[in-house]
Structure 1
């Protein structure tokens, strides 16, 4: 497997997942500061020119959450995802998709000073609704799906850690405790050196 990576990108999430799985791979650093992501060679791999990208044989996976889901299924024996068809799989998908489809767009536009967001016109609702969802999804103890750490924690928890770390959202005591549990994991510390 090849993991196209830059430490100043969402590739931190997929890097963390690879480290949690102890998955053998080649890391290829893309220099986004110099614009390497826009080179014809990289755009042939990822037409969006975004990082991360995972290449596994003929499979090309983009988007950090999709990479984490792919890796959890590829290494199913490691238990980072509920089995397909199980009742927990639906909850798992919610944790994987909520950050990218709801939380990140809302917090990003809010950070730009856009305040008059009508929840019925935007797919991500408004800040009170999103924060209520975050609060309801954040575990009091353990991990997103219970006592077993999964890719849901890497994606959902990693997003919370990012936004709290950059003061783009205020963490409740429950969210702050969950983020601290995530940050205590060895793989998190190895992938987030300097952050």
Structure 2
């Protein structure tokens, strides 16, 4: 299996899940500044030039959510996703992460009004459980947790105190060795800090 990624992409999430599953994959780091993701050698395989992507035998797959779901089914013993119900619940949370959670976090113009509408019910969901489904860490937690763990890195100015269960969940996820080795590595966290500082400086310049 081959993973095409870049530290500034959601490829870190795929790396994290591969680490959780105990699956070895060849990582190809694409240089965004050099435009390697737009070069013919890459777009011949992945026409949209999107990163991350994977090759597994004859399969070529892009979009991080699709890759996570594929890996969960590809390695059922490690993922615990073995039934139709489990596959549906995994898809539910992966789609929630990408379609519902991400926009309320990163669309600044509506964040103040929309964040509570998502974080408040999520806080209730997490009130009586450590993980989202099945009593143990799963692809659902990786998809949702990947965005939530961005909060301290990219959005340190957002007050999460109204949602203590979400905060506890973020802390719990962040302590996983696989997270620390990938999405929570010093390389990624330092890059996130730099991006947050640049974003704050740009916002201040507009005022």
TM-score higher than 0.5 here?
yes
Runs of at least 5 residues in structure 1 that lack an aligned partner in the other structure: 118-125
Describe how 1:1-195 pairs up with structure 2 within 5 A: 1-78=1-78, 80-86=79-85, 88-109=86-107, 111=108, 113-114=109-110, 126-138=114-126, 140-167=128-155, 169-171=158-160, 172-191=163-182, 192-194=184-186, 195=189
CA change 1:89–1:139 in 2 (3 A) is: farther
- CA deviation vs aligned residue, 1:12-61 (integer Å, no higher than 9, x gap): 10000011111121100011132211111112222222211011011112
Please report the TM-score for the alignment, with normalisation by the length of structure 2: 0.79
Counterpart of 1:138 in 2: which secondary structure? Answer: helix
**C-alpha separation in 1, matches of 2:50 and 2:92:** 23
Q: Give the superposed CA RMSD.
A: 2.2
Kept after mapping to 1: 8 A contact 2:104/2:111? no
Question: What is the alpha-carbon distance in structure 1 between the residues aligned to residue 24 and residue 153 of structure 2?
Answer: 29
Q: How many residues align?
A: 183
- Secondary structure at 2:180's aligned position in 1? helix
Contact 1:140 1:178 in 2 (8 A): no
Higher helix content, 1 or 2? 2
Q: Which structure 2 residue ranges, 5 or more long, are not aligned?
A: 190-207
